[in-house]
Chain A
Amino acid sequence: QSKTISGIVTSSEDGLGLPGVSVLVKGTTNGTITGIDGDYSIQLPADRNILQFSFVGMKSVEVTVGNESEINVVLDPDVKALNEVIVTALGVSRDDRSVGASIQSVKGEDLTATRNSNVVGNLAGKVAGVQVIGSSGAAIGGTQNIRLRGINTLGGGSPLFVVDGTPISNTSISPNNDAAGRDYGNLAADINPDDIESVSVLKGPSAAALYGNRAANGVIIITTKKGNKKKGLGIEINQSTTLENVYVLPEYQNEYAGGYTQDLLTFSYDPNIHPESWASFDGQKMLNYAADESWGPKMDGTMIRHWDSWLDGPQFGELRALVPQPDNVRNFFDTGVTTNTGVSFSAGDALSNFRVSLNNINQKGVMPGSELSKNNVSFNGSQQLNDKLSVGLNFNFTGTNAHGRPASGYTGRNPVNSFNQWFQRQIDMDRLAQYRNPDGTYRSWNIRSPLESRPLYWNNPYYEAYENAPEDSRDRVYGNFNVSYKLTDALKVSGFLRTDFYNQKIEERIASGGLDLDFYSVSQRIGREDNYEILLQYDKMFGEFSVTANAGGNIRKNLYSSMYEGTVGGLAVPNYYNIDASVDRPSTDSYKSTKTVRSVYGNVSVGYQNTIFLDATLRNDWSSSLPKANNSYLYPSITSSFVFTELMGGGGSFLSFGKLRASYAQVGSDIGPYEIAQIYNVSTPYGSFPNLQVPNTAANPNLKPALSSSYEAGVDLRFWNGKVNFDLTFYRNDNKDQILNLTVPGSSGFSGALVNAGNIRSEGVELSIGGTPIQKRDFSWDVSLNLAHNTSKVIELAAGLDNRQLQSAYWGMTINAKVGEEWGTLIGTGFKYADNGLPIINEDGSYAIERNKDLGTTLPTATGGFTNTFRYKNFDLTAFIEFQAGGQFYSVTKMFNAYSGLGKETAGLNDKGSPLRDPVEDGGGVRVDGALEDGTPTTVYVDAYDYFSGMFGLHENWIYDASYVKLREIRLGYSLPAKLVNKTPFHTLNVAFIAKNLWLIHTNVPGLDPSEFGSGANGYAYFESGQLPGVRSLGFNVRIGL
């Protein structure tokens, strides 16, 4: 006797009913398909008890039927479906099996699990071979840098971003590396992650040859969501609210107050200089407020005059206890709040589709006074006008406004620089929060003396945060209009007009009445890229052979202009923030550039029996920025794939799919505009006399394009029908004839010369393993692991040159490209070691030093990520761990944290049980073990201040291994059961707890997050100074479908 089983099949992606799902009684041919709402009903014979649910692109599920008559099933998308379709160059979707180069895809939803607003940050650890160098959440939208397969140009370089075929800028508007300044973010952050359908990462130039000369560092291809028919109104709402708190801070000592010596100062009344009313203060204890170090008296509760007791107000004359303030730095920061709300509307039928989405992000940062708002509108639509002609439009607008983006680096604008490097530990943040005197003037802890309240080194951090806050805004538009005409069944011609445009305005200020001269500047950057593109696509089967061919032409125009105006000599009217207020002639700069690149390209792909594929491309570029004689350059690629399981009968139950692939490609690169002709620089004038300078770089009218060649081979294996997927890739890139600004002896009259030279070789291996170890009706477990190892070795520089300094960090540490070593050699001052390996100690107890020592390399040896997704009934849990092994960096924070007596290691007891800071003759001091010049071991005790200040500039001591393991994301979601949802106006409802930056599981640098120190335009990421503290974010997410 059979019984009727019915239920609804829904997709885990959006909770919507899935129409067309095949439902089969296992072991029979009895089957049905689900209806428009995913509903089904089937007769189950008495001798059968297993139902199979399967659907293209989803993982099949088997359900054992018990006594129930209703069985609802949730199908998960099969990311590694056997015939996965991936988006390749030129936006062409291709069957995975035909692709001979390494392309890894990430689905949009995997990027937005925790609603991170920057697509670059979301790629960290999700794709093998991607290294993301992030910035702290405190930077509200700070730069996230990305490297693909290490370093492929001497100056670093980042991949090209392409959205729906339109190349968009990912420039970072921030100072180079962690140099002092403010980080206004990277431009790819203008993409709304909720709009992303999928991201394909084309890692080597092989897959990227068709994107031309900017693809040498790989391509990030982003495909946005299109409209399609959905259940309900086609409205989706996605809202999240998260709270952010500072969580990674250095460990501080809480024993000693500010000052340079342990003795409390005594106020001694002098009738000649002090007001009469101060006579009674004579003999009161006080601190050296002018010091910005913490080598002062013990915080033992003595009643003293604190800094503010000398300033007007009710606290004037107060004596308060000198006690520790262990949480003063943490107390400075606010709890941040971020709301992220998106709504999208979509519809579609056989002939047309559209999707409109709106998104708003409001963020209040942890840095007091910092806030950001971002609004985004995007539209995707296409219409089939007749059976041959179709048109489409993709339009994206993002408007960003921010106030008070924090400064980073070694600058007075950055309060963290003070807290971690130059501060007094006893300071009570609540007292500082009152940053004005009763008369409105500003007050700081760092007063020069009781009589002189002007700060010596540091403003009040609240003054910095609230009064010196910058303003910035950016409007961004990108998208394309396209038209396509089917000439024959096999041949289609398409045309595209593409644009990417941004207008960024930044105003910076220093308020009148602080330590520094008041100041105002306004700058504007306008960038625009237009692409005019035509593409012929041919696709036909000839018997056993499939042929696809594309031929295209493109004209690219880049326009850039910038303006800067800054006051000089202060503001004529206090706090009047306008260029008109400049006391002296303001400094101004205006710049514009244009560049054109013309290209023709084509590719042919031939497949045989769906088993062997061969793909060849050819491209020629003409660039306006190269010398006319050398401005045309041609480069090819060839790739092949071989689905060997086809020869084994299409794959067995163990090895279901196997593919070998190999490729070779070249990509040519040009230079920026205006680098080949002799010009003169205009510099600061003297009065009305203009000032011209012979430029420091020798122009080179004979430059030619740089060429990178890449070789790649890999294997894709899928076992047990995709339960386990395995993808392994080996690659090698030779980046030759780089156009580099060669450092030449300044005595030649130039400091640099543009030349074609050098070779950087990147080699590595990438592995991704994924699968679904458990797939049950009520429970499933998905796991994926990405792992990559890369070396980027400098094979040669220019003739006779074996080292090139790339940049110099604070106090003499440099990053270099050194022949025979990995790119990014750190060179600085180190310890001098005796033959037996002990550091040599000088007579006075200081370390003997060796200058220009090789101190390791900055590139990590391995990067990766590990994701686990569990689904139990209506609950889903995603945990994402990211990690990096190796890579060295230099920490200025740690150096001065010790120098200035703020760090934990500068206090406490030494190995004799005496206070470290006591004089050596009293049993104190830091124990230093080392050797004499001849290697004889020796131990000396060194005065703590001398020891830690003596480490200044001894870079080797401040080089750390940047390895880390980080629990980046957690999402715990709950989808309302269909039964309940049906009683609401909604058809899906999912609520989730989300967490970002939850736990820095491992770091070798306590108090710093090595994954976040690399903000900045060039992305070298080899040192930090005044790094903003790590921020943890916790909150909720609600997704509603209407």
Chain B
Amino acid sequence: CSEFGDTNVDPNRPSSPLTSGLLTGAERSVSDVIGSAIGVLYVQQLSEKQYTEASRYQDVYFDFNGFYTGPLMNLQRIIKLNTEEETKGDVLSSGSNENQIAVARILRAYFFGVMTDRWGELPYTEALQGELDFSPSYDSQEFIYTDLLKELKEAADQINFETAGVEGDLLFSGDMNKWRQFANSLRMIMALRVSDVAPEMAKANFTEAYSNGVLGADFMYPYLAEANNQNPWYGRYLTRVDYAISDTMYDFMNPLGDPRLEVYADPAANTGDIEPMPYGVSNTVAGGITNASVSYLGTFNRKQNAELPIVTMAQIHFSLAEAAVKGWISESAEEHYNMAIESSFRQFGVFDQAAFDAYVAQPEVAFSSSMAMERIASQKWVALFLQGYEAWAEWRRFDYPELAPAVDAMNESKMIPVRQAYPTTERDINSENYDQAVARQGADGLDTKLWWDIK
């Protein structure tokens, strides 16, 4: 009576994995990072048009579980299947073992990097162990950053151009050289992030990563002209008009005659001009402004298949400019600064030599060694348009440009968030580890500064 043969074998889902499919799944999640609106709102690149709660910091708790159970678990599984003797031979159709592992490690470092910049301490070493550990403890952000920089170095070194590149790779089509460049670029950016708190580690990693070769072109997420893989901003404007260019952004760009403004925002229906929306005002005030009188996010960035940046050349050059200012590299800070702005102009399709020359010649823009960091920070803020989490992290590091909190802020401190709180599930079901993390790091709210944010 106990024998049921194949009755309980699931015919609907595969029981053996295709690691290229796991990689595709993980890479699609990159869109969740770069397409998110919340960081864009924190740094006031855009304003909400009607229901303005998010830009008034109403949300405190943000869920990280999806990153772990989604892309990170996929990547962890790719590494496992390519590592264990009994399975590593079965997954070679998706690329050589070492290249699959390297790509998975790079992407894992990318996701963990974004996550730790949002929440700080995270389950890291003990995370992703599945049924072996249902209560992972937290690691300090210092530990995480140290390990991520090491991971990126090792993964870049692990790439083997002699063996098959990865399959299912929608980001680089299996081009292992680009993966190495991406790993080095990411390592450079992450090193710079910790440069205030751990200057030695930052410098060593930065210079080594740079000398190993960084990206030579903007690294963009390739959205498709189809609903399943479309630009998330496109989806947000299908039925609603929730996001308009902020007065903060407008007030910075407009006086400088920044040609990118015409790309960042569409003309208002009523006037045909770019008209900003005040940032962080109450719903009543927002409701008093008619929809036809403000400028929404520019069509350039929200076409169905409009690409969105993951890492841009502008970022690379701003980073190098900053490294030059710090004396880590012996190149011209000004040159990189100008190249960064030029790269940004090119990224948004507005590059014209004469216009660019005129723009950077303005005293408020022109590189100044006495105000090097302020210049870099402000211009980087403009260039990181729609790269919300990155822009927010850099703003926290630079504390520049000076942003006033939402006038009708809903959080208790009324300050711009410098962190996001852990999902409530952690407090409920991983409470011991959660409590320890909070004890080390500080209150689990929006106002606790991260380890690297010492200024």
List the interface of chain A (C-beta within 8 A of B).
259-261, 265, 270, 272-273, 288, 290-291, 293, 295, 448-449, 451-452, 456-457, 515-517, 568-570, 583-585, 587, 590-596, 598, 622, 624-625, 628, 631-632, 673-674, 676-687, 689-694, 696, 698, 700, 743-751, 753, 800-801, 803, 805, 851-852, 945-946, 949, 953
Contacts and interface: CB of A to CB of B under 8 A. Distances in A.
Contacts of A687: 170, 224, 229
Nearest to B239: A515
Interface in B385-442: 423-430
A590 B123 CA distance: 36
Given A679-B14, A684-B228, A689-B170, A622 B1 contact: yes
B353 interface: no
A686 B30 CA distance: 13
A92 to B, nearest CB: 25
A631 B17 CA distance: 28
Nearest to B289: A260
A750 B2 contact: no
B12 A746 contact: no
B290 A685 contact: no
A261 B285 CA distance: 9
A696 B69 contact: yes
Contact of B68 (A676, A682, A747): A747
A260 B129 contact: no
9 contacts: A448-B241, A456-B241, A585-B226, A592-B12, A625-B8, A694-B74, A746-B69, A749-B129, A750-B73
Closest 6 CB pairs of A and B: A746-B65, A260-B287, A692-B21, A584-B226, A747-B123, A569-B227
B291 to A, nearest CB: 5
Contacts of B261: none
A991 B67 CA distance: 65
Contacts of B70: 693
A146 B427 CA distance: 34
Interface residues of B, number: 79
B299 to A, nearest CB: 16
Given A451-B269, A747-B122, A753-B131, A680 B425 contact: no
A624 B72 contact: no
Nearest to A598: B1
A690 B13 CA distance: 13
A590 B13 CA distance: 10
A568 B10 contact: no
Given A288-B290, A694-B77, 10 more contacts: A456-B240, A517-B238, A568-B228, A584-B228, A680-B17, A694-B74, A745-B134, A746-B425, A747-B64, A748-B134
B28 interface: yes
Given A261-B287, A261-B288, A694-B77, A744 B10 contact: no
Nearest to B58: A953
B228 A585 contact: yes
Interface of B: 1-4, 7-15, 17-18, 20-22, 24-25, 27-28, 58, 63-70, 72-74, 76-77, 122-123, 127-131, 133-136, 168, 170, 224, 226-230, 238-241, 269-270, 272, 282-284, 286-288, 290-292, 423-430
Contacts of B423: 746
A195 to B, nearest CB: 35
A592 B240 CA distance: 38
Contacts of B65: 745-747, 751
A504 to B, nearest CB: 19
A674 B11 CA distance: 9
Contacts of B2: 622, 628, 631-632
B7 A595 contact: yes
B7 A594 contact: yes
A681 B18 CA distance: 11
Nearest to B432: A800
B13 A673 contact: no
Contact of A747 (B12, B21, B128, B282): B128
Contacts of B17: 680, 692
B425 A743 contact: yes
Contacts of B424: 851-852
Contacts of B429: 743-745, 801, 803
B10 A679 contact: yes
B128 A676 contact: no
A659 to B, nearest CB: 38
Given A290-B291, A691-B24, A693-B22, A750 B69 contact: yes
A9 B424 CA distance: 71
Contacts of B20: 689-690
Given A569-B226, A683-B25, A749 B14 contact: no
A683 B240 CA distance: 27
B7 A596 contact: yes
A449 B292 CA distance: 7
A681 B170 contact: no
Max chain A Cβ within 10 angstroms of own Cβ: one of B9, B127, B131, B136? B131
A745 B432 CA distance: 12
Contact of A448 (B12, B291, B430): B291
A692 B14 contact: yes
Given A290-B290, A452-B269, A693-B25, A680 B14 contact: yes
A684 B6 CA distance: 28
Given A260-B288, A685-B24, A747-B127, A805 B428 contact: yes
Contacts of B4: 596, 622, 624, 628, 631
Contacts of B135: 745, 748, 800
A746 B135 CA distance: 9
A945 B284 CA distance: 8
A633 to B, nearest CB: 11
A625 B65 CA distance: 29
B137 to A, nearest CB: 10
B132 to A, nearest CB: 8
A673 B131 contact: no
Contacts of A682: 13-14, 21
A632 B22 contact: no
Nearest to B78: A694
Contacts of B11: 592
A628 B6 CA distance: 12
B406 to A, nearest CB: 14
A751 B69 contact: yes
Contacts of B15: 677-680
Nearest to A587: B228
A15 B226 CA distance: 67
A700 B130 CA distance: 12
A452 B292 contact: yes
B57 to A, nearest CB: 14
A684 B28 contact: yes
A686 B129 CA distance: 28
Contact of A691 (B25, B226, B269, B428): B25
